[in-house]
């Protein structure tokens, strides 16, 4: 299968490396200078240093030519880059199946990725989301990982899952596109919260409680949007949540750790050097939850820290002072 990977960040590069072991893969970066560096150095020294690009992995210059020749387009940009890529495909009349590996809700619109695809390519476009517990560096090394591919068409989803599956990168098909997207997006908010918890030295008991209650919050939000509850017990829910909240490679957890240390958000993001999707997702999920009347106290607390300059310790204290509830709620 010919796969066009759009986006040469850490995750796009890692997926291109992984899939090139069994498919014909071309990687495209938005900036010509990035493409030149990738081709010359055979390494993404800025985003994924230390991982050589396989000789068979091509670096593409022409967007339209690349997409036109592909059997599958895999968009691995940050979520903000999804709509521009799709719009360019539409303007060039390039109808191809699309799978995305970006997570979150679109800034300002609050759209989930599949809603963006429907707006840009039409509701009939074959599409799906690739999500689950997977750090780019480990995938690039060929270490074992398992993810979910949820699609708007069941047969397409199963076909793509089988095609992308390998012994070290296991891909499971799923038909709950909304649930997989919500799990992958909202867990980043919980990772920021967990980073704050760890940064304040609140202990492992508090971390376990926060992750557990965070999962309940994710599920409550997802079900309100039409997701299946059981999705959040799987790879795109609990699996991704645990990894992102506890792994030292987690960008969003790193943001939380820095917030707990009293650092300002602009400086944190500048020093990070990568996109932490949970920052923008927090704002959109908090707005939507308020509009729909969904109780999301952890999300509200993270939103207050990020966007209302509330000190991290004060936000946590408010959470701890909430009245007790029945656990299932």
Percent residues over pLDDT 90 in the chain: 95
**Greatest Cα-to-Cα distance within the chain, rounded to the nearest angstrom:** 59
For residue 43, the enclosing domain spans 2-175
Six-digit token string for 196: 């704050």
Among candidate residues 103, 187, 318, 325, the one labeled active-site is 187
Q: Is 325 a catalytic residue?
A: no
The residue among 160, 175, 190 that closes a domain is 175
pLDDT tens for each residue of 77-109: 999 999 999 999 999 999 999 999 999 999 999
165 and 314 in a single domain? The answer is no
Q: Which CATH number characterizes residue 258's domain? A: 1.10.1040.10
Residues 166, 204 within the same domain: no
- Same structural domain, 275 and 150: no
Q: Is residue 142 domain-shared with residue 235, that is, in the same domain?
A: no
The string of pLDDT tens digits covering residues 303-316 is: 999 999 999 999 99
pLDDT tens-place string over residues 288-298: 999 999 999 99
Residue in this structure with the two tokens 């999500």, named with its chain if needed? 131
Domain count for the chain, please give it.
Answer: 2
> pTM value?
0.96
Residues of the chain with pLDDT > 70: what percent?
Answer: 99
Asked whether residue 11 is domain-assigned, the answer is: yes
Q: Return the number of other C-beta atoms located less than 10 Å from residue 136's C-beta.
A: 24
Residue 329 above 60 pLDDT?
A: no
Q: What is the per-residue burial (b if ≥16 Cβ within 10 Å, else e) of 181-218?
A: bbbbbbbbbbbbbbbbbbbbebeeebbeebbebbbbbb
In whole angstroms, give the CA distance from residue 149 to residue 164: 9
Averaged pLDDT for residues 192-220: 97
21 and 127 share a domain? Answer: yes
Q: Are 155 and 187 contained in the same domain?
A: no
261 and 307 together in one domain = yes
| Domain C-terminal end among 150, 175, 200 | 175
Question: How many CA atoms does the CB half-sphere of 15 hold within 13 Å?
Answer: 31
Mean pLDDT of 217-230: 98
Both tokens of residue 51?
């991982």
Q: Would 327 be classed as within a structural domain?
A: no
222 and 279 share a domain?
A: yes
């Amino acid at each position: 299968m010919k796969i066009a990977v759009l986006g040469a960040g850490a995750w796009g590069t890692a997926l291109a490396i992984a899939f090139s072991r069994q498919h014909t893969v071309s990687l495209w970066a938005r900036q010509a200078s990035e493409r030149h560096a990738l081709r010359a150095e055979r390494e993404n020294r800025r985003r994924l240093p230390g991982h050589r690009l396989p000789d068979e992995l091509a670096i593409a210059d022409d967007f339209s030519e690349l997409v036109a020749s592909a059997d599958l387009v895999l968009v691995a940009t940050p979520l903000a880059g999804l709509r521009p890529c799709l719009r360019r495909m539409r303007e060039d009349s390039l109808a191809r199946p699309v799978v995305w590996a970006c997570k979150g809700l679109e800034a300002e619109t609050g759209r989930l990725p599949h809603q963006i695809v429907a707006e840009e390519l039409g509701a009939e476009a074959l599409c799906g989301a690739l999500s689950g517990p997977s750090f780019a560096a480990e995938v690039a090394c060929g270490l074992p990982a398992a993810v979910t591919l949820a699609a708007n068409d069941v047969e397409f989803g199963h076909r793509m899952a089988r095609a992308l599956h390998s012994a070290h990168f296991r891909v499971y098909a799923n038909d709950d596109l909304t649930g997989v997207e919500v799990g992958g997006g909202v867990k980043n908010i919980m990772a920021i919260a967990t980073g704050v918890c760890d940064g304040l030295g609140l202990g492992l008991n508090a971390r376990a409680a926060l992750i557990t209650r965070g999962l309940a919050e994710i599920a409550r939000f997802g079900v309100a949007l039409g997701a299946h509850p059981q999705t959040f017990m799987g790879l795109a829910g609990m699996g991704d949540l645990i990894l992102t909240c506890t792994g030292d490679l987690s960008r969003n957890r790193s943001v939380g750790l820095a917030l707990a240390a009293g650092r300002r958000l602009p400086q944190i993001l500048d020093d990070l050097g990568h996109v932490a999707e949970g920052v923008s997702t927090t704002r959109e999920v908090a707005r939507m939850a308020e509009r729909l009347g969904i109780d999301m106290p952890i999300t509200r607390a993270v939103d207050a820290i990020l966007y209302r300059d509330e000190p991290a310790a004060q936000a946590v204290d408010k959470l701890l002072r909430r009245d007790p509830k029945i656990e299932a709620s």
